[in-house]
Amino acid sequence: MPYQIVAASDVNFDAYVQAFNEAYAHYFVHIQLTPANLMSLIKRDAIDLTSSVATLDETGRVVGMAMLAIRPPRSWVGGVGVVEDHRQRGLARKMMVTLIENARQKGLAGVELEVITQNTKAYNLYCDLGFEIQRRLLIMERPAGDATIPEGYLVRECSPLEALAYFDKFHDTPNAWQRSLPALQSFAINNLEGWAIARRETPAHVVGYAVGWPNENHIQWMDIAIDPQANQRSEIGIALLASLHHELPTATGGIVNLGEHDVAVTSFEALGYTEAMAQYEMRLKF
């Protein structure tokens, strides 16, 4: 059966979303998006539809999709999928090769992506294309329950943009693409809440922050960072996380793509978060 790879910007957007949903229908995690959902992700993650691709079958139906995000000099693969009845025909490889070439032609430094560690087929494909593991990214979860807040700290609510003003100063390990500063800033307004933490003896001196969206059922953390110059960084993180779990004891908790060497990992673990899944962050350098 002949296939054609075209720019994602050249196909009907609703058809592209449908192909995305069909491709991810039985994925390791449940992902089903509306056109508005996907457009929001495209804006947040800087996905370039002219550099992204769609695969069409002989009838013109969209049966594959692959998205490339660009923040020069970097680029990132925001998803690759083929609908079930068109798999095992090399379409994912062909789309990836096209994305890589598109990134090269734009003079970018390379291509990055994440792949769930259990997804051996995709992992083997990326290795074959020259991608190398950079680190593991953790998906951590916590059951509902109260938390004890360490003494000596003040946690206050703040705007997410106020919290994110400390992003560069407080992060000593890089965030994953979807939790980068531009992504968080674009998502912050009308979506996220923020918290800042200080020691009681120096209440004006912020030593950490977090942003996320909480409700009585679930707390989804989008970012947390602690001042690298502060003492007891892990305890600061515990106090920051515990303050919200104490306020919302019926809420479960979660964070996605936390770098394995991030200092916040120990804080999450101390609050009862465990690794639910992990991804490899991989990179192809040009």
Mean pLDDT of the residues in the chain: 97
Residue 206 pLDDT > 90: yes
Q: What is the pLDDT of residues 134-177, one digit of tens each?
A: 999 999 999 999 999 999 999 999 999 999 999 999 999 999 99
- What's the confidence (pLDDT) of residue 190? 85
Residue 1 pLDDT > 80: no
End-to-end CA distance of the chain: 33
pLDDT > 90 fraction of the chain, expressed in percent and rounded: 96
Give CA–CA dist 17/274, Å, rounded. Answer: 32
Give CA–CA dist 150/142, Å, rounded. Answer: 19
Q: What is the pLDDT of residues 42-98, one digit of tens each?
A: 999 999 999 999 999 999 999 999 999 999 999 999 999 999 999 999 999 999 999
| 97: number of Cβ within 10 Å | 15
Q: What are phi and psi of 283, to 5 degrees?
A: -145, 140
Give CA–CA dist 116/35, Å, rounded. Answer: 24
Give CA–CA dist 226/60, Å, rounded. Answer: 51
- Domain spans of the chain? 4-130, 140-279
Give CA–CA dist 49/47, Å, rounded. Answer: 6
What is the fold, at CATH topology level, of the domain defined by 4-130?
Aminopeptidase (3.40.630)
Judged by average pLDDT, the poorest of 7-16, 21-30, 234-243 is 21-30
- What's the confidence (pLDDT) of residue 30? 81
Rg, Å, the chain Cα set: 20
Give CA–CA dist 21/28, Å, rounded. Answer: 13
Q: Give the architecture (CATH level 2) of 140-279.
A: 3-Layer(aba) Sandwich (3.40)
- What's the confidence (pLDDT) of residue 118? 97
Characterize the bridge pairing of strands 153-158 and 193-199.
antiparallel
- What's the confidence (pLDDT) of residue 227? 99
- What's the confidence (pLDDT) of residue 91? 98
The 3-state DSSP class for residue 161 equals: helix
Q: What is the pLDDT of residues 181-198, one digit of tens each?
A: 999 999 998 899 999 999
Residue 29 pLDDT > 90: no
Q: What is the pLDDT of residues 269-279, one digit of tens each?
A: 999 999 999 99
Q: Quick one: the chain helix, strand, coil %, rounded to 5? A: 35, 35, 35
The two domains 4-130 and 140-279 share their CATH topology (first three levels equal):
yes
What kind and span of H or E run contains 4?
strand 4-7
